[in-house]
Every structure is written in structure tokens, then in C-alpha cells.
Amino acid sequence: MNLPPLQAHVFAYFLSHGARDFSMVGRWWPHAELALVMADKMRIAVRPFGKAAQDAAGPVAEALSEHMLACGGFSTKPQKFGGTMHQFQPEAFRAALDAIEAADPVLKLAAAGGADFWATSFTELTN
């Protein structure tokens, strides 16, 4: 995903601090709810880095939910009255995370950046 720097860091931080634990009830969800649930989890994850990082979670969650819909992390079911609903698919979701993590440039920087990488990066990006 091609995201601006702050959003890319929010995304990478969520990948390394919570995305693997992400889960949703097995019911069918409307599209808008997917991003809202993911944004809430991301905001909680990046809370230590301030309001700007938390505010960046919304667009990141929307991008991630779109990606997960495209790669099967959420299944899609058309409704008889129009529209679609989506259901969390844990195995496909985690397989997609594996692929994303392997290619994420911020995670590569974090691995080489040491213990202070996240605090330093978020401070630079939010000031």
C-alpha cells in the first residue's frame, strides 16, 4: 500500500503490534463497519504516540480493509435487497498479513532501528 509517511508508520506499527491478534465476531458486517473496527484497534495501538498518530488510523484502516477484501481476508456476500456484507476470514487475513509484512519498508527500518525506533519516528512525524 502506498501511504503518506505518518500513515505508513501507523500501518507498520499496527502490523507489528496487534494485527496478528485482530479478530472479529463471525457475523456478517457492512463494508463501513470493517474500517471502523480496524481503525479503533489501530487508534488504541498508536495511542502512546499522540493524537496525530491516532487521527491517521482512519485512512489506514480503510486502505487495509480494502486490501483485505481484495485478497480474501474478508469474504463477501451479496444481499437480496442490494449491497454486500463481509465476514472475517482468520486464515486468509493472516496469510495476507504475512505477505504485507514481508514487503513493508517501515517494518524493515524498524527491525534495524533498535528499541527507540517507533518513539523517535512518531516524534519526528508528528511534530
Band the pLDDT of 127: cuts 50, 70, 90: confident
16: closest CA among 122, 80, 97? Answer: 97
Average pLDDT of 24-41? 92
pLDDT per residue as tens digits for the range 34-62 = 999 999 999 999 999 999 999 999 999 99
Which residues does residue 74 pair with via DSSP β-bridges, in sequence order? 88
How far apart are the C-alpha atoms of 42 and 11, rounded to whole Å? 8
Is the per-residue pLDDT at 97 higher than 80? yes
pLDDT per residue as tens digits for the range 98-121 = 999 999 999 999 999 988 999 999
Q: What's the gap between Cα 74 and its chain centre?
A: 13
**Do 53 and 126 form a contact (C-beta atoms < 8 A)?**
yes
Question: What pTM was estimated for this model as a whole?
Answer: 0.90
